[in-house]
Amino acid sequence: MTTRPKITKTLFKLLIMSICVFISIFTVMYCSKNNENKDNTSNKGSNISGKDQDIKNSNLTKIAFEKDNNVYLYDEISRQIKSLGDNSKSKDLLELSPDKTKIVFRYFNEGKPIYPPHVIIYNIKAGKLTDIVINNKNAQQIVELKWIDNEDILVTGHINPSVSGYTVYNTKSKAELISCVGTIRDVSLDKKNILYSNTPHIFPQPRANLYINGKQIFESNNDKEQIFDGVISKDRKMIAFRSWVAGEKDINGKDSAYLNIGKINSDGKAISNLKKTVISGEIAGELKFDDENNLSIIEDQFIYKLKDGKLIKVANTLAKKKELTAVQLKAFRQTLAKEFPKEVISDQTVLEDIDIYNMVVF
């Protein structure tokens, strides 16, 4: 008689516990689902916001480019494109200054060359143009414009296949600072030194040589040696250049080259302690001295550092040039389509196919 009540009481307790467990599980699942929905909503919002603010979060705000013998500047904030300079004249050879505040380009006339030629400096912030007349006859057939620093430009002129003319102009004073004829190797940032080789268009060619400001500082003792680049250190005390001898191979049968480094004498007339290091002819990066006069060869993927007469190869972790994101590229194409309505421009258009070239993003 006492067993049944005990069983009933036990079953009742189990029933109550089951209901509690069920309620607990339901509550946990509901809260979890609710939080997941909130997270999804938040993520969707952040994704949309991320796309909308992709441009704003990027440091990139402008694109300079050439098209149809004209120079343009695109502003991705205003989504506008404007041509720079006189629209009645053809333009090319645009280059952006290191501090990204100015653009240089030239006016030209395909049918009838302009003499003397004009180089134009466009101040991006002020929206003003500075016209520089190139009076140096050795640089008047302009083939390249290059910034030496934020105020000075190097103008390269064609003379013949082996000789060019070079002149440096200050963009504020419009004055010519220094010039040379031959094959340029380097111009120091303080504008006081221009390194070049004398390469007259004669036969036989003179031996490989180097000049600084009109003074010869080096001549090879090998008739077959050729120099293909060079650089002066920032303190103007060291010089480095690469050379090769046609037909010379390394132990693996590959083309070899020489990395030459030495000290510039105080009188600026010779090189002392010149040391030659045999290197692979396949290393084609840029020669560069750092502030302590350590020499490196900088390629896109690797840096070769000269240490104790040997090149040490390391990964190039230097900041790369900025590139357009997919969102930015899409916005650029859409703005191009509005600016050039006669052309068929879609979100998949290859920019080169619509003759956009020499594009600089910054």
- For the ranges 49-63, 152-166, 308-322, the maximum mean pLDDT occurs at 152-166
Q: For residues 230 and 186, is the Cβ–Cβ distance under 8 A?
A: yes
Identify the residue whose tokens are 């380097």: 186
Point out the least confidently predicted range of 28-37, 127-136, 173-182, 273-282: 28-37
pLDDT of residue 78: 95
pLDDT mean over 299-324: 92
Checking phi first, is residue 221 left (phi over 0); if not, alpha (psi -120 to 50) or beta? alpha
pLDDT band at residue 61 using 50, 70 and 90 as cut-offs: confident
Kindly report the pTM of this predicted structure.
Answer: 0.80
pLDDT band at residue 149 using 50, 70 and 90 as cut-offs: very high
Q: For residues 92 and 356, is the Cβ–Cβ distance under 8 A?
A: no
Residue ranges per structural domain of the chain: 207-318
Q: For residues 75 and 61, is the Cβ–Cβ distance under 8 A?
A: yes
pLDDT of residue 86 exceeding 50:
yes
pLDDT of residue 312 exceeding 90:
yes
**295-307 pLDDT, tens per residue?**
999 999 999 999 9
pLDDT mean over 230-252: 90
Return the C-alpha torsion angle 232, 216, 275, 306, nearest 10.
Answer: 20
Cα(166)–Cα(136) distance, rounded to whole angstroms?
Answer: 9
Point out the least confidently predicted range of 20-24, 231-235, 330-334: 20-24
Point out the least confidently predicted range of 134-138, 245-249, 330-334: 245-249
pLDDT of residue 166: 98
Q: For residues 124 and 101, is the Cβ–Cβ distance under 8 A?
A: yes
Point out the least confidently predicted range of 243-252, 292-301, 305-314: 243-252
> What's the Cα-to-Cα distance from 29 to each of 16, 17, 42, rounded to whole Å?
20, 18, 20
Cα(318)–Cα(9) distance, rounded to whole angstroms?
Answer: 78
Task: Give the list of residues 6+ apart from residue 169 with CB closer than 8 angstroms, or none.
Answer: 119, 132, 134, 152, 153, 155, 175, 176, 177
Q: For residues 137 and 166, is the Cβ–Cβ distance under 8 A?
A: no
Residue 210, amino acid: L
pLDDT band at residue 246 using 50, 70 and 90 as cut-offs: confident
Point out the least confidently predicted range of 51-55, 92-96, 177-181: 51-55
Query: Cα 97 vs. chain centroid, distance in angstroms?
Result: 11
Cα(20)–Cα(25) distance, rounded to whole angstroms?
Answer: 9
Point out the least confidently predicted range of 21-25, 36-40, 325-329: 36-40
Cα(259)–Cα(278) distance, rounded to whole angstroms?
Answer: 6
Cα(213)–Cα(354) distance, rounded to whole angstroms?
Answer: 44
pLDDT band at residue 8 using 50, 70 and 90 as cut-offs: very low
Percent of the chain exceeding pLDDT 70 equals 83
pLDDT of residue 191: 63
pLDDT mean over 168-195: 91
**Can you list the pairs that 106-110 forms with residues at least 24 positions away whose Cβ atoms lie under 8 Å?**
106/142, 106/145, 108/142, 110/69
pLDDT mean over 330-355: 96
pLDDT of residue 102 exceeding 80:
yes
Task: For 286-325, list the strands marked E by DSSP.
Answer: 286-289, 295-298, 302-307, 310-315
Cα(168)–Cα(174) distance, rounded to whole angstroms?
Answer: 10
pLDDT band at residue 59 using 50, 70 and 90 as cut-offs: low
